[in-house]
Amino acid sequence: MIEQDYIHHGDTVAFMQTLPDGCADLILADPPYNLNKEFEKHRDFDEWYQWSKTWLTEACRLLSKNGNIFVYAIHHYACYLQCFLYECGLVYRRQIIWNYENGWSRYKNAPSCHYEPILWFARSNNSTYHIIRESYKSTERLKHKITKNGKVWTPNPEGRQAGDVWEFPTLAGKRFAAERTKHPTQKPLALTDRIINHFSNPGDLVYVPFVGSGTECVSAVLNGRRYLGAEMNEDYIAIATGRLQQLRSCELQHRGSLPFGAVASRR
């Protein structure tokens, strides 16, 4: 039995090497992008790419038969990671475009950046997927009967099927102050919930190679999944642990009046 709901303090590759083949149903990786950030110095490209191949090789080994791997990437380098995932023998499922208009980037010599690619690969085309639905764009269209090829089309009460461009704001600005921690590249819970809810099953194990402030672990708990992850930086582990503890005290407070899963109503 492997440990669950646990964050390892140390190197993710060394930690993954201690885990058995096929143990992770979903791998949600938000790796260093090789930029100059508080937690990483820009490295020579070859060095960064060799390191990326090392952790991706281990991650692929951990992926279960019906499992999915999501890798956040930056447009400069996403193609290298994508090619390597093919080399690992995984099946390409989709490149998700995470679109936002409230990002931090401003350039004088190029347009502002309004998206990040997220690579979705799996062991097979039959990997876990629960249809994502969102509101219909036009309510006008829903008022009139629509006939296509002689058949009457009725709207799905849960909304239309979502596409592969996902609009979620980043955590920039005052309105996200309550969610934001001191981690410089914290991902939004709403986006993370979508991945965890629709690409894994309740009770599944989510492996988080780069825990940071713990967003993916928090989302796993909120959505009834188990998590396991690694983080090198002690301060970030403290942030992640604090968020998880807050959740647990919330659960204890509400036990008996509100099912814990009900908190996870974001999609």
Nearer to ligand SAM, 67 or 209 (CB): 209
Q: Establish if 186 lies at the interface with ligand SAM (CB under 6 A).
A: yes
Residue choice 212, 220, 226, 237 for contact with ligand SAM (CB under 6 A)? 212
In the list 25, 116, 193, 231, the residue contacting ligand SAM (rule: CB under 6 A) is 231
Is residue 227 involved in binding ligand SAM (CB under 6 A)? no
Q: Which window, 119-127, 144-152, 225-233, 253-261, contacts ligand SAM (CB under 6 A)?
A: 225-233
128 interacts with ligand SAM by CB under 6 A = no
How far is residue 59's CA from residue 186's CA, in Å, rounded to a whole number? 21
Q: Does 170 bind ligand SAM (CB under 6 A)?
A: no
At closest approach, how far in Å is the CB of 191 from ligand SAM? 10
- Using CB under 6 A as the binding criterion, the count of chain residues that bind ligand SAM stands at 19
Q: Which is nearer to ligand SAM, 2 or 35 (CB)?
A: 35
Considering the complex, state which of residue 45 and residue 153 has its C-beta at the smaller distance from ligand SAM: 45
Q: Which is nearer to ligand SAM, 123 or 230 (CB)?
A: 230
Residue closer to ligand SAM by CB (options 1, 177) is: 177
Query: Which residues contact ligand SAM (rule: CB under 6 A)?
Result: 11-12, 30, 32, 39, 183, 185-187, 210, 212-213, 215-216, 230-233, 236
